[in-house]
Amino acid sequence: MTARQIVLVIVAGGLAAACAGERPFLLQGDPYSAQVGFSRDLEGATRVARQHCAQYERVPRFLEAQENVAFYDCVLP
């Protein structure tokens, strides 16, 4: 691999990581709760919580958002 190829791989990886920071993601969860990291998209955070809670045949109920974390309870529908 040439130096130029290595630099391109590093730049591409950095851009992918930066873009991934914009997407909501599950920080922590169990059958009864979900904590979702997000930047500006609370609707996207709710989608992530919905997917997580669905594993346990539950639905998310929004509790609160603090800084960049949204907190949900996973409750029976």
**How do residues 14-28 score in pLDDT, each as one tens digit?**
434 444 468 999 999
Please tell me whether the overall predicted TM-score, pTM, comes out greater than 0.95 for this model: no
Q: Which pLDDT score, from 0 to 100, does residue 1 have?
A: 65
| Residue percentage of the chain with pLDDT more than 90 | 70
Residue 31 pLDDT > 90: yes
Averaged over 59-67, what is the pLDDT? 97
Burial of 10: CB neighbours in 10 Å, binned 0-12, 13-18, 19+:
exposed
Q: Which pLDDT score, from 0 to 100, does residue 58 have?
A: 98
Q: Are 51 and 58 a contacting pair, CB within 8 Å? A: no
